[in-house]
Amino acid sequence: MNYTHLSLQERDGIFVLTLNRPNSLNALNMDTLAEIREALDFIKSKDGLQGLIFTGQGEKAFCAGADLKNVREMDPQDFLEFINISFEVWERIWNMPVPTAAALNGLALGGGCELALACDFRLAVKEAVLGLPEINHGLLPGWGGILFMLRIVGRAKTLEHVLTGKTIAAEQALEMGLITQITSRETLLSEAKQLVSTIAKKGLQTVKWAKQVINDYQTADLRKAFIHEALSGLACFVSDEAQKGLESFSLKNKKK
């Protein structure tokens, strides 16, 4: 299959999906999310599937989040559709029957952090930086970031990082449990492949049921919680604060 904003490779049943917009720090726009959704449906349909790994093209970023240049041009209906397609992507990742991992080769901010948090495991290079900085632009994480972070690190840390928008270095993320391993850039993908391969060899049916049980305990109200987060994000998007924040972002980029 041919894609514009990502690449997809497979070996021994392990798929590597690489976000491929390095000039935009692999930021997510509507077309990219649509391609990821299509790729995930294709991957899940394949016989012999063993695992799935996400990573980003280049050395700067795994994914810098939503493409704010694109977001700034959206009306509320467009923004709601943007949130909806992201949920369709995240839900597919969350419900993938095989182990999934995010190989963080650089920045994982906003929607990029949320994409990583939707995976079962997160491995990172020491230079990686995570965070949910949406509040700095008058916005809220609307793609499940609050929900996923809350379930991984608890209420206090989630409040701290959502309300301050501050970034999280790899070492701190490891201590918090946001990532599972720090590795070298040279071995990042091989370590991720080894992890998912080791788990898959335990028995794919067992892994599938184990994931389903764990997910069911954690996500009994996932859709309800996600809708609540999405609607809160939409309310922020139409506010004066968000419009000022997006305008400020646009002006900063014009000066670069």
* pLDDT at position 213: 81
Three-state SS at 239: coil
pLDDT per position as a tens digit, 96-146: 999 999 999 999 999 999 999 999 999 999 999 999 998 888 888 877 888
* pLDDT at position 82: 87
Q: Which one from 73, 88, 91, 114 is the annotated catalytic residue?
A: 114
Type of residue found at 39:
A
State the CATH architecture for 6-204. Answer: Alpha-Beta Complex (3.90)
Q: Minimum mean pLDDT among 10-24, 147-161, 168-182: which range?
A: 147-161
* pLDDT at position 198: 97
| Whole-number average pLDDT of the chain | 88
253: confidence class by pLDDT, cuts 50, 70, 90: low
**Does residue 61 surpass a pLDDT of 60?**
yes
Smallest Cα–Cα separation from 141: which of 165, 167, 108? 165
Would you kindly state where each structural domain of the chain is located, as residue ranges?
6-204
Annotated catalytic, 91? no
pLDDT per position as a tens digit, 173-197: 999 999 999 999 999 999 999 999 9
Q: Minimum mean pLDDT among 5-19, 32-46, 76-90, 164-178: which range?
A: 76-90
* pLDDT at position 245: 62
**Does residue 148 surpass a pLDDT of 80?**
yes
Where helices occur in the chain by DSSP H, the ranges are: 30-44, 68-72, 76-94, 111-118, 145-153, 155-164, 170-176, 188-200, 204-218, 222-237, 240-255
**Does residue 242 surpass a pLDDT of 80?**
no
Residue bearing the bigger pLDDT, 93 or 252: 93
- pTM of the predicted structure, to 2 decimals: 0.86
Annotated catalytic, 134? yes
Q: Which one from 73, 134, 160, 241 is the annotated catalytic residue?
A: 134
50: confidence class by pLDDT, cuts 50, 70, 90: very high
Query: Averaged over 201-205, what is the pLDDT?
Result: 90
